[in-house]
Every structure is written in C-alpha cells, then in structure tokens.
Structure 1
C-alpha cells in the first residue's frame, strides 16, 4: 500500500461508521437473489457510506475469466472491467490476494496503462481489496477518491472488513440463486409428472390460482400430513375421480 495516514479523516472511519456500513449492506443484500443486482447495491451503498470515497466499483471473475463489473458511476465502469485492461489495481489485488492502493495516482507507476485513464476520468486515489465469494467466483472491491491523499489507513481497515463481509453476503446471494434455479427445475419436473400434474390441475380449478401456487398447496398438505407429495396427489385425484352417488 502507498497511502498516508491522515488523522482527521481516519477518525471519521471508526468502528461505529464501519459497523453502520456493514449493517446497511446486510439489510440491502439479505433478500437479493440476483448477483448483478447485489453488486450494484454493494457499490452504491459503499460509495454513499464512506467519507472520502467518491466512487466505488467491483470487479468479478468466474473460473478465472472476467464475469462482470459494477460501478457506482457507470461512466467509470471501464476502470473495473478486465475486458478493457488487465493492468489494474483490482487484478493486482486478486492475484496477490492482498489489498493494494495508491493515495496519489500522479506519483504511481504500477499500472501504466490503467492510471492515465483513471486520472483522465478524475480519479486521484484508489484502494482495491480482494473478495473471496465461492469456489467459482472471486473479485475485488475498488474504492476511488477524486482528490489525492484522501484515502487513509482508516479506509484501508474499512476496505479489509468490507471485503470480508461482502464476500459472505455475495456467497449467500449466489447460493440463493442456485436454490431458486433448482426449485424451478424441480417444479417443472413435478408439474410434468402425471398424477401430480393432475392434482395441480384440480387445485388450480378449485382455487383459481396459478400452477406454482397450486403446487405449494399440495406441498403444504404433504407437510402437514407428514406424507409424500405423490401420495397427497394420488388421494386428491382419486377423490375427485370417484363417482358421485345420485
């Protein structure tokens, strides 16, 4: 890291401020199932919460390949996108598995292709911290300052805690997305099953509800009766198929 410690700003990035940021991130991402939506919320919340941070970005890799970016200001999204350049603080952080940064890009020589573009867009300081998400996706959270020597040791500590917390939250988002996709596949298979499909049709007719809701009704009945879903479906189909006494 090449950042100076400046007490006034460092003081503003104390325990309470960091805790408030992590709490807001948790509230913002706890129910999100879409990974790109989660990244957008992450960079927006971070940018708004941290004094001295003008912009925030995220660089994601899946199986070692660029897998998307998010930027609090779309105008600067190219700074986080590895498709445009591999010479970036984000990739340095990911490769080294440690935080990197520069308080004054005017005196920085580590990213000769990236730095001139960053300065052209008004970026004067940067911190990039690696984010471990799961066995497929890794990334980096990138904090940008519009003035030199604004990012401090307090920002470094916050970035480190933020990266750890964001990794856990984003892993949960990906897990929920996988579970949701699996549920859709399972529902499609069940609806294509003969007797269960018939039972769903019966519930849809009786309640005037869509197939997904009808399947949930059958699942609820199976859970309350502690019997398999197929048996509930078979009982329902037998009941409605039984001839009525005149």
Structure 2
C-alpha cells in the first residue's frame, strides 16, 4: 500500500503500541464467525484504540459492488456507504489501492458532495486505507477526526497497520463463515440420510426434540463410545426394530 499524502511530522508508532493494537484486534475477531459482526467489532476497537480518532467506519465491496458498511457511530454510517456517494475517500482508496488523507475538509476540493455531508456531520479530517480480504471482498477502513490537522503520520501508520492486520483477520472470519455454512449443509443432508435419518427420527420421538438436537445426541454418543456416528445409528435402529418378547 502506498501513501497518497504523508504528513510532514516524524511521529512513529512504538513497539508496545503496535503490539497492544494487534493484540486487541486479534482478540476481538479471532473467534467471530459472522462477517458483519466482525466489521462492527473492528470499527469499535479501532475507534477506542486510536487516540485522536473520533469515529471509525468500514466500507465493503463484494464482487466490485457496494455490499455494506459498519460504523462506530450510526449517525455517520452514510459516509461509508457507497450507495450514497460514488466519489469518496473510501472508494478512491479502494480503486487506487493507496491510502487517502484529507487533513482539513474545509479546504478539500476532492469529493465535493461527500465532503459537504461530512462537514455537516462534524467531520474535519479523514484517512481511508484499502483492505484486501479475499478474491471476492475488498474494502476500506476509514478514520475520522472532528478537528482539522489532527490526523498525523502516526495515524497514517496506524491506519496502514489496521488495514493489513484486519484484512488477514477478516479473511479468516470469511473462511469460518464458509466452513460453518458447509457444515450446516452436511447436517441437513445427514438428517434424511438412510439409517442415520431413521435414528434421528427415533431420538426426536423419544425426546421430543428437533432434528439438529437429535443429530447432536448421536454425535455425543459416538464420541463417548469412540465409534462412528453411522454405527451408533445402526445400533439404535436395530434395537428399536427388534420385536419385543412377550
């Protein structure tokens, strides 16, 4: 990622600050399986962890089309939504694959409609950094300041760090989301699969529980007995199908 504009000061992030930011971001997203929830957590963490930043947003494109936003303050969510403005810092960051900085929106000539809406909401400075998630999803993380000349080299370095690390974490979330969906598809197929389906039906009748819970009962039994789920199902069906002795 390259910088469109680099502030003249020489502030840098300390090792401890960097480690703390990465640790907090990782802890917040490491177990999340829903992409939208991950975005909500991401902007909340960034807003709270980066001094001088008053709001944080995230813009999402899926297959090249606007596909959602997340914002630390719902009142500013429209600034991250590309369906409102086709010309904005976030879209420029995504298309140019570079960080975009506007230190003072009062003097900003780029994205005139967007800049006016931002000023009306109290925003005076913005940094947008592109985030690569996977082959289908890309986005931009947007850091907003309520005062001009607030966003410095430190904030640009932080935004770069956030973008790189967030891209890795969000890609992992997308993988977990896909794996969970595939597992649900497998479960749905198993619910009606031969002997396994019959065994699930037996448990549902005996316990008065739904099919997914019955499947989990079979899995727990298989784990306890250390035998395949299919074998547990066969034993159960065989047991209930035996004629009772008079």
TM-score (norm 1): 0.89
**How many residue pairs were aligned?**
243
Extract structure 1 runs of 4+ deviating beyond 6 A. none
Listed as ranges, the gaps of 5+ residues in structure 1 are none
Mapping for residues 33-182 of structure 1, pairs under 5 Å? 33-182=33-182
Q: Deviation of residue 233 (structure 1)?
A: 1.6
Structure 2 Cα separation of the partners of residues 22 and 103 of structure 1:
25
1:90-115 CA distance string (max 9 Å, x none)? 11110111111121222222222221
Residue in 1 aligned with 2:230? 230
Structure 1 Cα separation of the partners of residues 8 and 38 of structure 2:
31
Residue in 1 aligned with 2:5? 2
What do you get for the CA RMSD once the two structures are aligned? 2.1
1:196-241 CA distance string (max 9 Å, x none)? 1221133345556542232123234445667653343222201221
* 1:48 alignment partner, SS class: helix
Q: Which piece of structure 1 moves more, 222-231 or 13-22?
A: 222-231
Q: Deviation of residue 73 (structure 1)?
A: 1.0
* 2:126 alignment partner, SS class: strand
Q: Which piece of structure 1 moves more, 197-206 or 101-110?
A: 197-206
Residue in 2 aligned with 1:194? 194
Listed as ranges, the gaps of 5+ residues in structure 2 are none
